[in-house]
Structure 1
């Protein structure tokens, strides 16, 4: 799963016609060779190295504040973690990247707000990179190619500029469905503002105003520590879930079934299944089991805010396991 942008200069939002025109220009020899660099070069983004180092140092310091904090503050930090996680799992991932179900406007707005709290790139960029990841998994066009090692697939991919293949293949994808969604366009246009408010300001102010927690504790626990933990759990889907676990559905691909990642990432660790059946809204054969994101989507369907959940059929799953699985369960 993507994290904060590794590109120092974010591409400004373009409407559908402008986006298509830009892709044509690139295919005809446009593009910025200085930005892309040589095909074999690794250009370190020192800004990201410094910021991520400071963020993790702040998270380590935050651990010392836990005994001094009020219980409500810790519960609030966990609530913010769950909210931001849903913005990624139910929002950017299962809804916008894979279109595995449909969501009505109120739910899309909620998920976009939660996604800004997650601060892992805006919905458009997250979904674009994730579609590239699925289509070109474990190649140079994969933004967090696990063949380059655990560190690279976990966080190192954010420390270097994207491989030229990632950019080239990303520009060739059909992203008109994302560009056509006004919620996606609005969030992308005002992303920096919404991130500051949702990821840092609101998580910090609520404990301070509502139950008189110190501003210091509120900031480091509900913002810094919560954000750092949520990032690393999301990154484990890119790293650990591509390296450790069994492959009951397709032994020929890297993604694995990883129970620990599943628990942390609220249902996203059934990764061998997900890469085998990426259209399945549950991202798992087991439905509601160990899958809070699926619980949430099902609840939204019950409330009438979501529809058209896509699912792999039992015969389809059984046949695939028999044909390409590793024999595990």
Structure 2
């Protein structure tokens, strides 16, 4: 506890230009007062650790709606309305809370901001100000103790646990929300959050279904309570499933991942690895075939004059990140393969010892200054036993590189796994060594794991054929 507290003090003292979070609704709250989370959970105080407001909206109300649905029939018109209202509330979160206010990936006109704030209230996931503040902390401190819904604390915690249990606001990473405090729509919704929720999440669907086709109760249960439950669980998947399920095509140092299932559940928010790498981009999906209705909604609003300044990250930088991650995966794959003993780790053998060992029964062949034991391969040699046996105890550099047959890339790779030594001398060997040392274009390249990269045609045994000169007159 002491170490975490001291770490917090150090972070707080860092002059990063970020001001401390100031509550707008409860101004009597003292940030210096000890928080309940600093006390262990016991049988006597467990109820103080529970965020009862969130628990009521996230657990108790959905349970009530689920039980009530047993007696309330679902009419087709109400079902269609519930789905439509689901998308309205969903866009309030994805296009409003997330991409507009948390990441400022585009700008919206006043009517659109009001529309999105209303939709966010209908989703019942906190105010835009509170939601965006925590989400900025999540991006700034991903997978750390200052991440308000870090998946490192468990899948269930990142999905719902962080909402139903109280969090110490002093332990959440500090972020700058001065821009949100200057948005009158955000401030009004924050200060009138409970009223907004009751009206948009429950009253509107109840009245809409009741006044239009007489299904007041169905509108309340299906258009209100159960719709709230589904959209909450879908959105929470961005914090849990999107950090657990899928691929990491841009960076794998943190937990965010891309997966089409999460995208379908969250109106396009499932391409989370891309989003964490390029958070200021108004898109989550950059390929035409990827599902991201939120992106298209923002684009349509732009055509209507409701949205502007849509931000996209330079494609060149996106491709850099993709390529670097591919290189990293290649490096990891390369470490699992046998590339032969590195030349610098092989023993140095004189030409006379090489010849003597070959006469004493070892099937040693010298190619480009490297000694190879081909004994186990003689029977499998595609050219026949006689041809490879004839090269034992000899310098077969020319034979292997076109004198008899210009061997394939696969043959050079296989040969590298048979290395047993490096020759100290030898006529053709010395000529090759001198040619290699004088070639200034030849340079060893290592991957991120420190292993040498051997590309096709750059094997030590591959010798470039001499350029043919003009025939004598």
Give the shorter-chain TM-score range.
0.7 to 0.9
Residue 204 of structure 1 contacts residue 218 of structure 1 at CA under 8 Å; is this kept in 2?
A: yes
Trace 1:146-161 onto structure 2 (pairs within 5 A): 146-161=151-166
Trace 1:227-306 onto structure 2 (pairs within 5 A): 227-286=228-287, 289-306=290-307
Residue 58 of structure 1 contacts residue 225 of structure 1 at CA under 8 Å; is this kept in 2?
A: no
Q: Counterparts of 2:69 and 2:185 in 1: how far apart (Å)?
A: 36
DSSP 3-state at the match of 1:34: coil
Q: Counterparts of 1:269 and 1:21 in 2: how far apart (Å)?
A: 31
Residue 237 of structure 1 contacts residue 269 of structure 1 at CA under 8 Å; is this kept in 2?
A: yes
Trace 1:1-329 onto structure 2 (pairs within 5 A): 31-35=31-35, 37-38=37-38, 44-45=49-50, 47=52, 48-49=54-55, 52-61=58-67, 64=70, 68-163=73-168, 166-167=171-172, 169-170=173-174, 173-213=175-215, 215-286=216-287, 289-325=290-326
Shift of the 104–53 alpha-carbon distance from structure 1 to 2, 3 Å rule, reads closer
Shift of the 235–22 alpha-carbon distance from structure 1 to 2, 3 Å rule, reads closer
Deviations 1:129-153 (A, max 9, x none): 0000000011111111100111101
Shift of the 197–102 alpha-carbon distance from structure 1 to 2, 3 Å rule, reads same
Distance apart, 1:62 and its partner CA: 5.5
Shift of the 92–164 alpha-carbon distance from structure 1 to 2, 3 Å rule, reads closer
For the aligned residue pairs, the C-alpha RMSD in angstroms reads: 2.4
Q: Which of the pair has the greater relative contact order for Cα pairs under 8 Å at 6+ separation?
A: 1
Residue 248 of structure 1 contacts residue 327 of structure 1 at CA under 8 Å; is this kept in 2?
A: no
Distance apart, 1:248 and its partner CA: 0.5
Distance apart, 1:123 and its partner CA: 0.8
Deviations 1:193-241 (A, max 9, x none): 111100110111111110112x322211111110000000000110011
Deviations 1:145-173 (A, max 9, x none): 10011110110111222145544x33xx2
Moved more, 84-93 or 40-49: 40-49
Distance apart, 1:287 and its partner CA: 5.5
Deviations 1:284-328 (A, max 9, x none): 222573111011100010011111111122221111011135659
Q: Counterparts of 1:20 and 1:316 in 2: how far apart (Å)?
A: 31
Shift of the 266–65 alpha-carbon distance from structure 1 to 2, 3 Å rule, reads farther
Q: Counterparts of 1:216 and 1:22 in 2: how far apart (Å)?
A: 41
Shift of the 148–44 alpha-carbon distance from structure 1 to 2, 3 Å rule, reads same
Q: Counterparts of 2:40 and 2:177 in 1: how far apart (Å)?
A: 28
Higher-helix-fraction structure = 1
Q: Counterparts of 1:192 and 1:150 in 2: how far apart (Å)?
A: 29
TM-score when scaled to structure 1?
0.84
TM-score when scaled to structure 2?
0.59
Deviations 1:26-68 (A, max 9, x none): xxxx7233325428779621624455332332343355468x2
Number of residue equivalences: 299
